Amino acid sequence: MSAIREADIEGLTGVEQYAEVGEFPVERGYIWTTCSSVENGNPLFWDEELAEELTGGPIAPPTMVSVWFRPHHWAPDRTGSALPLQVHFDLKEGLGLPEAVMSDNTIVFYEPVRPGDRLRTSQILRSVSAEKTTKLGTGRFWVIDVEYQNQNGERVAVESYTGFGYVRAADGTTEVSK
Amino acid sequence: MTATTLPTLLQGDVSVGDTLPQLAYPVTATTVVLGALAARDWRPMHHDKDFAIHRNGTRDIFLNTPNQAAWFERFVTDWTGPHGRLQRMTFRMLGSIFPGDTMVFDGTVTETGIDETGCGWVAIDISVSVDGDPKTTCKARVALPTTSDDNPWDRKGDQWRP
C-alpha cells in the first residue's frame, strides 16, 4: 500500500498490483444465502441435475465474483490486508484528493465460477485524466480494472471502475463518498 | 453436451423495445442486512441505523452495491431462464434504497444481435427506482440461445466474447 504520486502514474499504468488469493474457496452456502437474499429461483443454483446438464455442475451467480474476496470481519493473526480497490485509495492519497466517488462500474463475465474454486484477484490502473472540474469539485478521473482468475489461470471476470478524486467545491456535497 | 431442458427464451424471440416483466419489492431492514451479509459486506452503514444516520448522514441503512448487482442478475434471469448467460453489466449509482422503500425494476431491450462466433445476445437498459425516481441504472448484455438446442454455457475460450 503506497501512495501513487503524479510521477508514478506512467510507470504503474497497465501494471498488475495487489495480487491476492481469496481467503477461502468458493462455497455453496454463500451462493444459496445470496440467492435467498434476492429471492433468485434460477434453477441453475438449486437443481443439481439441471446445473449438471447446462453448466457441467454447480456454478456461482456471476455477480457474486467480488464476494469471494471480502475479508473475514475478524481472523487470527491478521496483519492487515489491502482494501478492495486499494489503487483507488493510493491515488487519492498520492494526488492529494481527499474526496472521491465512483461514477460507474462495469463487470464482464468469462468462465463460470464454481464451488471449490480458489480465485485470484489483482488491480490494474488503466488511466488517469488531466485535471477536470465538475459540480462536485476539481480533481482527476481514473479507471481501475480488477481482474479475477481461477486456480487454472482462466479469467473469470474483469471489473472496471471509474473513480473521480477531487477537492470539494465551496458549496459541493456528495452523498456517496468512498 | 446437448441440453434436454429446453430454453425458455431464444434470441430470435426478442425485439428492440421489448420490456421485461416488472419486479416490485418492498425493502425492509432484513432485506438490507441479509443482502449485506450475503455479500460479506460488514460495513456498519448496511446494518447499523445509528451509524448510517450519524456518520453517513443518510436517513437509514441502505442496500449495498454488490447485493444490488445480485438483484439485477435475478431480474434478468427471471426473464431469460437458466440458459441466459450474463456477458456484462455496467452500473451507475444515483441514490440509495432504504427500508420502507418499494424498489421497482424495469427493463427494456435496446439492442439484439449474433456475434462473429454465432453467439446470440441482447442488450437491456434496466433501472431500479423508488417512487419513480431511478436509484441505480444497469446496462446489461446477456447471451441467449439462438436455437432450442443451443446453450451459451457451452462456450469457452475464444468462442465466448462478452
The neighbour count for residue B38, using CB atoms within 10 Å, is: 24
Listed residue (B119, B110, B106, B86) closest to B10, CA to CA: B119
What chain A holds in terms of domains, given with CATH numbers, is 6-26+77-168 (3.10.129.10)
Question: Model's pTM, two decimal places?
Answer: 0.91
Q: What is the pLDDT of residues A71-93, one digit of tens each?
A: 888 888 777 666 778 899 999 99
Q: What is the pLDDT of residues B43-55, one digit of tens each?
A: 899 999 999 999 8
Asked if residues B57 and A174 have their Cβ atoms less than 8 Å apart, the reply is: no
A6: which residues sit within 8 A by CB, 6+ positions away? A94, A95
Name the minimum distance, in Å, from the CA of B36 to any CA of chain A: 9
Contact B88 A44 (CB under 8 A): no
A60: which residues sit within 8 A by CB, 6+ positions away? A26, A31, A112, A113, A114, A115
Asked if residues A31 and A60 have their Cβ atoms less than 8 Å apart, the reply is: yes
In eight-state DSSP terms, residue A171 is: T
Whole-number pLDDT of residue B28: 98
Q: ipTM of this predicted complex?
A: 0.95
Whole-number pLDDT of residue A172: 46
- Residues of B contacting chain A (CB within 8 angstroms): 1, 3-5, 25, 31, 34-35, 37-42, 57-58, 66-67, 69-74, 77-78, 82-83, 85-93, 95-96, 151, 153, 156, 160, 162
Asked if residues A44 and A51 have their Cβ atoms less than 8 Å apart, the reply is: yes
What amino acid occupies position A172? G
User: Which chain B residues are closer than 8 Å to A112 by Cβ?
Assistant: 153
Dihedral angle computed from the Cα positions of residues A36, A40, A43 and A45, in that order, rounded to the nearest 10 degrees: -50
pLDDT-flagged residues of chain B (< 70): 1-3
Whole-number pLDDT of residue A101: 85
Minimal Cβ distance to A105: which of B41, B91, B162: B91
Whole-number pLDDT of residue A81: 64
Whole-number pLDDT of residue A84: 75
B146: which residues sit within 8 A by CB, 6+ positions away? B10, B11, B12, B114, B118, B119, B120
Whole-number pLDDT of residue B129: 98
Q: Whole-angstrom Cα distance, residue A102 to residue A168?
A: 15
Listed residue (B62, B85, B60, B56) closest to B73, CA to CA: B85
- Helix runs in B13-161, H state only: 29-38, 49-51, 65-80
Topology of the domain covering B11-159: Thiol Ester Dehydrase; Chain A (3.10.129)
- Helix runs in chain A, H state only: 9-12, 28-37, 48-55, 86-94
Q: Is A50 on the interface with B (CB under 8 A)?
A: yes
Per DSSP, what are the bridge partners of residue B102?
B26
Mean pLDDT by 10 residues, chain A (178 residues): 90 94 94 98 96 97 94 82 82 93 91 97 96 93 96 97 88 47
Phi and psi, residue A21, nearest 5°: -100, 140
Whole-number pLDDT of residue A21: 92
Q: Whole-angstrom Cα distance, residue B16 to residue A173?
A: 38
